[in-house]
Amino acid sequence: MAPQSADLHIHTHYSDSTSSPEEVVKEAHACGLSCIAITDHDTVDGIDPTREAAKAYSLEVISGIELSSEINGKDIHVLGYCFNDKDSGLIEHLKIIQSFRVERMRKMIEKLRELGIKNIELEEVCSLAKSSAVGRPHLAAVLVEKGIVTDRQTAFNKYLSDNGAAYVPKYKQSPQDAIQLIRKLGGVAVLAHPALTQVDQLIPQFVEAGLKGLEVYYANTSKAIIHFYEGLAQKYNLLMTGGSDAHGKSKRNTCIGKIKIPYELVEKLKTER
């Protein structure tokens, strides 16, 4: 029997992936994973449907989330694992973050209108997410579908990137706030894709706030960079996690199981909390 392995960074169509929970578990099973975590942006709505769908296979689903936060205008993603995803305080907090996301989308569409792009409606963008965690990738998809830009990356470069013409920031929450929220729920907070985010110098501050892990194993990352973050994790006594960041068809350079970590790392995550 193959050793047990996990992919701890997977999105569903409850945030900005095109994949349903059923598609996610089918793919995860097909590539031999024994454990997955659903880490949708600012929502836990996809976890239960995925658990339900996973019953057809022997596939473990652990609770996860990818919280957005911001420091010095930079978008920082904090992953949370093994927390109580039914906590009423969490659900309330996420409702606030999500209503900000909807308002923000309204403002971004307004900015596009001022730039002469007048045929985008809030409802059609929101309809692409099965929860209220609507985001820039949904707007990018509509811009491509309407032929306003040729591809998603151009949508970001021209309009949606952090310094793009139609950019509007999200709910203001610091990485420390996000880390503490996960801690309060009895979960493990992990800095997502540190090689993409590039805030290594802030890691000591995050550790002080309760950060417990680094997402060392991430799709499309070189061995040298992985080795570097293994070293940082050791230096700060942090757990190492990993995942594919699969988004179905909305992110073509990765897929479920592109990263498989040994189940031993999941066990460490469970004992940490």
| Residues binding ligand AMP (CB under 6 A) | 41, 68, 135-137, 153, 156, 161, 170
Phi, psi of 104 (to 5 degrees): -65, -40
For residues 9 and 12, give the distance between their C-alpha atoms in angstroms, rounded to a whole number. Answer: 10
Q: Which of ligand AMP, Zn ion, Fe ion, none binds 245 (CB below 5-8 Å, type-dependent)?
A: Fe ion
| By CB under 5 A, residue 77 contacts Fe ion | yes
| By CB under 5 A, residue 245 contacts Fe ion | yes
Phi, psi of 155 (to 5 degrees): -60, -45
Task: Tell me the closest approach of the beta carbon of residue 17 to Fe ion, in angstroms.
Answer: 9
Count of residues of this chain found to bind Fe ion when the rule CB under 5 A is applied: 4
For residues 40 and 57, give the distance between their C-alpha atoms in angstroms, rounded to a whole number. Answer: 21
Task: Tell me the closest approach of the beta carbon of residue 263 to ligand AMP, in angstroms.
Answer: 27
**Binding range to Fe ion, per CB under 5 A, among 15-23, 148-156, 192-200, 229-237:** 192-200
Q: Please, which residue, 27 or 245, has the CB nearer to Fe ion?
A: 245
Task: Tell me the closest approach of the beta carbon of residue 272 to ligand AMP, in angstroms.
Answer: 25
Q: What is the DSSP letter of 67?
A: E
Site string for Fe ion, 81-110 (x = CB under 5 A): ------------------------------
The residues near 208 (Cβ < 8 Å, ≥ 6 apart) are none
Please report, to the nearest 10 degrees, the dihedral formed by the alpha carbons of residues 246, 247, 249, 254 taken in order: -30
Q: Which of ligand AMP, Fe ion, Zn ion, none binds 20 (CB below 5-8 Å, type-dependent)?
A: none
> Could you tell me the two tokens for 215?
């997402």
1-40: which residues touch Zn ion (CB under 5 A)?
Answer: 16
Task: Tell me the closest approach of the beta carbon of residue 193 to Fe ion, in angstroms.
Answer: 6
Q: Please, which residue, 4 or 161, has the CB nearer to ligand AMP?
A: 161
At 35, which helix (H) or strand (E)?
A: strand 35-38
Going by C-alpha positions, the residue among 259, 216, 208 that lies closest to residue 234 is 216
Cα separations in angstroms, 221 against 218, 224, 229, 259: 6, 8, 11, 10
> Could you tell me the two tokens for 101?
């996301």
Q: Which of Zn ion, Fe ion, ligand AMP, none binds 45 (CB below 5-8 Å, type-dependent)?
A: none
In the complex, which residues of this chain contact Fe ion (CB under 5 A)? 66, 77, 192, 245
